[in-house]
Structure 1
Amino acid sequence: MNRTTGSRTIGSKTIASRPAGNRPTGGRTAARTTGPGAGTAPPRRTDARRPHPAPATARRRERLPRYWFAERLLLTLSGRRPVHWMLGHTLGAAYDQLAALAPYAPLQPAPPGRSPAVRHCDEFRPSPGVIEAFARIEAGDRLLALAFRLEHCTDQRWRCSAVELGGTRR
């Protein structure tokens, strides 16, 4: 690299680059320009009614116990994951409720191809270490309610202790 002009020669081509004294101090110094997906835009959604949450919003949501559990309950109740996938995250009664609901796949999308999604999830904390959460689930053209209770156990993990769907119990 020629330090005075900030360029380098590769073969017979001269490529201009940043002068040596102007490099950033942390992180990556150059954007990725090769490899799969480089220079291509992400696929566009055809369903404009419900856009994907922004990546930063999705990451913030994932850190909240209520969204984490709502997503996993949705995957189980839509038939995309087996019930035993939630075994370590539920207490006895909640696991039994999931096992009773899951064979019906109540959150399976009505028109095939459109996956159900958590539109919104909120919580109420009746006492320390307890979260009563409620979520709005969009499955096709239906909007369903999902309610669940989380308890902070002695091993410092949140576990689901009750699940109800659409206000009725099966």
Structure 2
Amino acid sequence: MTARLNRLAARPHLHPRASDCDRAGRRPLHPRAACAAAVAPPDDRDDDGARALAARFAHQLVEVLTGTRPSGQLMRHTTLDGYGQLASLVRVGALRRGGPADRPRLGPVHDRSPSPGAVEACVRVDLGRRQHMVAFRLERRGPAGQWRCTAVEAR
């Protein structure tokens, strides 16, 4: 018995620490499962993180709507309904540029959180002499709590 304990002591990675075990004393099945307790649940979000996320997504969304970025690049960040709305806005040319020199300028992104797992945001886009508004909704979806765009509007 002493020889076995000495072998385990020599290889600390083979025996679990108390912090690695669950309440029943079992080791997690996967190494990432031990980190799951340290990760905040999807409903806990900080306002600065959501605000930065909304600003980044607004920039990418405007690039798609003006034609400088392919819409397929946002496919994994949208739900099926959200992507359908985005594709129809691209088809009708919701944000048309007056000429090649007209670069879109984004105003400040205004966001609010109607529920813990959702962010609604809007941004003013200046294209030459024209001004447009783009609004979108981001929600946490799936088991990983990934942010996805569920609705898009542009005028």
TM-score range with shorter-chain normalisation? 0.5 to 0.7
86-95 or 110-119: bigger deviation: 110-119
Q: Any conservation in 2 of the 1:107–1:116 contact (CA below 8 Å)?
A: no
Which of 102, 105, 110 pairs up with 2:98? 110
CA deviation profile, 1:34-71 (whole Å, cap 9, x unmatched): xxxxxxxxxxxxxxxxxxxxxxxxxx99x711111101
1:65-84 → structure 2 map (5 Å cutoff)? 65-84=53-72
Tell me how large the CA RMSD over aligned residues is.
Answer: 2.1
Partner SS, residue 120 of structure 1: coil
What corresponds to 1:158 in structure 2? 147
Alpha-carbon separation, structure 1, partners of 2:90 and 2:121: 19
Verify: 1:96 aligned to 2:84, yes or no.
yes
What CA distance in whole angstroms lies between the structure 2 residues aligned with 1:136 and 1:120? 7
Provide the identity percentage: 36
What SS does the aligned partner of 1:160 have?
Answer: strand
- Ranges in structure 1 where 5+ consecutive residues have no aligned partner: 1-59
2:111 to 123, 138, 146: 123
Superposition pairs of residues 1-170 of structure 1, within 5 angstroms: 64-153=52-141, 154-166=143-155
Q: Deviations over 1:107-150 (max 9, x none)?
A: 23213212112112111111101001011111111111111000
User: Highest relative contact order (Cα 8 Å, sep 6+), 1 or 2?
Assistant: 2
Distance in 2 separating the partners of 1:106 and 1:100: 9
For 2:91 and 2:67, how far apart are their aligned partners in 1? Answer: 8
Q: What is the DSSP-based 3-state SS (H/G/I as helix, E as strand, rest coil) of the residue aligned with 2:106?
A: strand
- Structure 1 residue 98: Cα displacement: 0.9
SS in 2 for 1:146: strand
**TM-score between both structures, scaled by the size of structure 2:** 0.63
Residues 138 and 144, structure 1, Cα contact 8 Å, conserved in 2: yes
Report the Cα distance in structure 2 between the residues aligned to 1:114 and 1:69, rounded to whole angstroms: 21
Instruction: State how far apart, in whole Å, the 2-side matches of 1:147 and 1:98 are.
Output: 11
2-structure distance, mates of 1:97, 1:159: 13
Structure 2: gaps of 5 or more residues: 1-47
What is the TM-score with the length of structure 1 in the denominator? 0.58
